[in-house]
Structure 1
Amino acid sequence: MATMKDIAKRAGVSTSTVSHVINNTRYVSEAIAEKVNQAAKELNYYAPSALARSLKVNRTKTFGMLVTTSTNPFFGEVVKGVERSCYHNGYSLILCNTEGDAERMRASIDTLLQKRVDGLILMCSTLEGERIEGFDRYPDIPVVVMDWGPIDFACDKIQDNSYQGGYLATQHLIDCGHRQIGCISGPLLKQQAQRRFQGFKDALRDAGLTENADWMVEADFECEGGYQGLQAIAASGSLPSAIFAGNDMMAMGAINAANALGIRVPEDLSIMGYDDIHLAKFVSPSLTTIHQPKYRLGQAAVETLLHKLDDPQSDSQTVQLEPTLVVRESVKRV
């Protein structure tokens, strides 16, 4: 019966490289992986099953992830970071979509835990602030929460500094000469929306500017919310010179509404976004926005789970990633 050593000799690589390819425990270039797999095939080598390996090491080399349904590409870009990081670390990812349903979310969590995933990533605001049953039955499975509200179980958190991002966005509008500034916020029940809105208000206050209630609208983090938000502001009878939208989707919806109303962006109205999704640079005008490190968010979640697996007794931590300004064409300098 052929061994990994035999495969290594035929493929002209080290035995450890063969092990990484067969067990998927580390990234190996496609060319080398192909040589190893071809040598294994020629020698009729049969790798032990994933189940057999998991029983031996008491790990399944699998992470589970739950994501809230949304048309926002932001979620997909974060998932890409999670999946790529899993791959480079020899892990598989099971992705569940909650469809915005609290009961489905609970059922998905229970299913993933029963499948003995090595760790769980939660990126859902469906149950923000509510208790989730089930984790106490699986105390050895680490959990990482991304951008969520208050929770009542021990876990690590990965989040962006939403307050700083909201402040940074508004400060850029002020630096560009704008003094009449409105805001289309996300749903203020969600912590990210609250923090970005608070950053917006504090930036106005620090600049000695007055809030105008007619120019502040709460929406839903979707394009339709941004569209309706700008319509509501325009219907108030006056327009600010600039608007900070709580995410890029609402900013793009606002730009669309402006076009429908005959409002030129940025000549008549400047619009600022948040997230820097991939589409932001391709709208017209291209969107000035706050960059949230989406790939790094996903990567940090996986790295945190791996650290917890290596050191189960380590204290829970919060990893905060800092936003940055991306200047494009949707904000006019007055």
Structure 2
Amino acid sequence: MASMKDIARHAGVSTSTVSHVINKTRFVSEEISERVNKVAKELNYAPSALARSLKMNRTRTIGMLVTTSTNPFFGEVVKGVERSCYQENYNLILCNTEGDTERMRASIDTLMQKRVDGLILMCSTLEGEKIDIFQQYPTIPVVVMDWGPIHFESDKIQDNSFFGGYLATKHLIESGHQEIGCITGPLNRQQAQMRFDGYKKALEEADLELNSDWVVEADFECEGGAQALNTLVERGRLPTALFVCNDMMAMGVINVADRRNIQIPDELSIIGYDDIHIAKFMTPSLTTIHQPKYRLGKAAVETLLDKIEKRVERPDLIQLEPTLVKRESVKSR
């Protein structure tokens, strides 16, 4: 395999000149640059990524840790991260934590050994965990997405879940509903609690009573939504509308409603949260709160690169605003 010394000998220039041409680290005349590049092509020269990373102390690689879920929300965010990395000429190493703290620590340690330039974490199932491994790597930039309280220094990207919950419930109220229930996510997770708080705020503003019989805590998965509607049916009379705190649970609700001959939206209106790609293909198509998933991923990469390039020093909180998407699962009364 040809080396820079080989190119320098054939091109009649110094090895440092070849390095500047190949790495574009200093101006070299057009004539010499053309001669060096021509010789490099003739010798089938391929630059060593490892050698370059050692010299530059940069691997142009980002690590991302996610928790496995059937929810395509995560996949759509990862797509935004991956595409942004590609556009910025960075590689992405994706690790799955399976919601396990020890596996997360092991993955972080592995990524550090691979000398990633920074980390993106999207592991809300580990919310509140003390990740002390970061004390071993105090200089590594970290961006956290979709997570609650954290015990290490990082930038944070999140959606405004309180406003999203408020917006969803307000739409049901403006559609004429006064009996409104809620299927929440796990309330020990900040995003779920904030959506529920937004729901309660909208009811309070409209002077509507919160009926605890119409509130069920679930797990953000299809099965949880299905079980939650069964629970509501067993408790007695249903409300006229439900705020379901993510689209996956809304899918479970729609499935059980169909099996129980509960007509949506004629008997029960439903609004979801996330606006995953398949929401518009449900029957009926799902009215929901849109999270800017691609922009969440893009913002995470941009924020991390700002830290890697030392364009910003202090940790930052970036909050993206949700919007209402009206479809066919909410009936005006």
Question: What TM-score do the two structures reach when normalised by structure 2?
Answer: 0.88
Report Cα offsets for 1:152-191 as digits up to 9, x if no partner.
1111000000000000000000010000000000000000
Deviates more, 1:225-234 or 1:100-109: 100-109
Maintained 8 Å contact 2:66/2:97: yes
SS in 2 for 1:129: coil
Report Cα offsets for 1:240-263 as digits up to 9, x if no partner.
000000100001110111001110
For 1:87, the equivalent position in structure 2 comes to: 86
Query: What is the letter of the counterpart of residue 314 of structure 2?
Result: D
Summarize the Cα distance change of 1:2–1:232 in structure 2 as closer, same or farther, 3 Å threshold: same
Maintained 8 Å contact 1:102/1:126: no
* Distance of 1:92 and 1:111 partners within structure 2: 16
SS in 2 for 1:233: helix
Report Cα offsets for 1:42-74 as digits up to 9, x if no partner.
634322111011012100000000001100000
For 1:149, the equivalent position in structure 2 comes to: 148
Instruction: Map 1:111-260 to 2 at 5 A.
Output: 111-260=110-259
Instruction: Map 1:254-269 to 2 at 5 A.
Output: 254-269=253-268
SS in 2 for 1:302: helix
Maintained 8 Å contact 2:62/2:93: yes
* Distance of 2:43 and 2:229 partners within structure 1: 65
Report Cα offsets for 1:205-226 as digits up to 9, x if no partner.
1100001111100000000001
* Distance of 1:210 and 1:194 partners within structure 2: 19
Instruction: Note the C-alpha offset of 1:284.
Output: 0.4
For 1:61, the equivalent position in structure 2 comes to: 60
* Distance of 1:253 and 1:245 partners within structure 2: 10
Instruction: Note the C-alpha offset of 1:127.
Output: 2.3
Instruction: Map 1:281-296 to 2 at 5 A.
Output: 281-296=280-295
For 1:13, the equivalent position in structure 2 comes to: none
Matching of residue 298 in structure 1 with residue 283 in structure 2: no
Unmatched runs of 5 consecutive residues or more in structure 2: 1-5, 12-19, 25-37
SS in 2 for 1:70: coil
Query: What RMSD, in angstroms, separates the aligned Cα atoms of the two structures?
Result: 2.0
Maintained 8 Å contact 2:127/2:148: yes
Identity %: 68
For 1:272, the equivalent position in structure 2 comes to: 271
SS in 2 for 1:134: helix
Tell which structure's C-alpha radius of gyration is larger: 2
Maintained 8 Å contact 2:100/2:126: no
Query: What is the letter of the counterpart of residue 132 of structure 2?
Result: E
Instruction: Map 1:105-116 to 2 at 5 A.
Output: 105-116=104-115
SS in 1 for 2:270: strand
* Distance of 2:278 and 2:310 partners within structure 1: 39
* Distance of 1:44 and 1:266 partners within structure 2: 69
For 2:49, the equivalent position in structure 1 comes to: 50
Query: What is the letter of the counterpart of residue 226 of structure 1?
Result: G
* Distance of 1:197 and 1:241 partners within structure 2: 18
Deviates more, 1:133-142 or 1:213-222: 133-142
* Distance of 2:174 and 2:317 partners within structure 1: 32
Deviates more, 1:44-53 or 1:62-71: 44-53
Summarize the Cα distance change of 1:71–1:311 in structure 2 as closer, same or farther, 3 Å threshold: same
Maintained 8 Å contact 1:2/1:43: no
SS in 2 for 1:217: strand
Report Cα offsets for 1:300-331 as digits up to 9, x if no partner.
00000110012276110000000000000000
* Distance of 1:262 and 1:128 partners within structure 2: 38
Matching of residue 101 in structure 1 with residue 100 in structure 2: yes
Query: What is the letter of the counterpart of residue 46 of structure 1?
Result: Y
Report Cα offsets for 1:84-108 as digits up to 9, x if no partner.
0000000000000011222111111
Unmatched runs of 5 consecutive residues or more in structure 1: 7-15, 21-38
Maintained 8 Å contact 1:176/1:332: yes
Instruction: Note the C-alpha offset of 1:298.
Output: 0.4
Report Cα offsets for 1:13-61 as digits up to 9, x if no partner.
xxx9x979xxxxxxxxxxxxxxxxxx99963432211101101210000
For 1:315, the equivalent position in structure 2 comes to: 314
SS in 2 for 1:275: coil
Summarize the Cα distance change of 1:104–1:179 in structure 2 as closer, same or farther, 3 Å threshold: same
* Distance of 2:252 and 2:271 partners within structure 1: 12
Question: What TM-score do the two structures reach when normalised by structure 1?
Answer: 0.87
Deviates more, 1:49-58 or 1:179-188: 49-58
* Distance of 2:77 and 2:112 partners within structure 1: 22
For 1:35, the equivalent position in structure 2 comes to: none
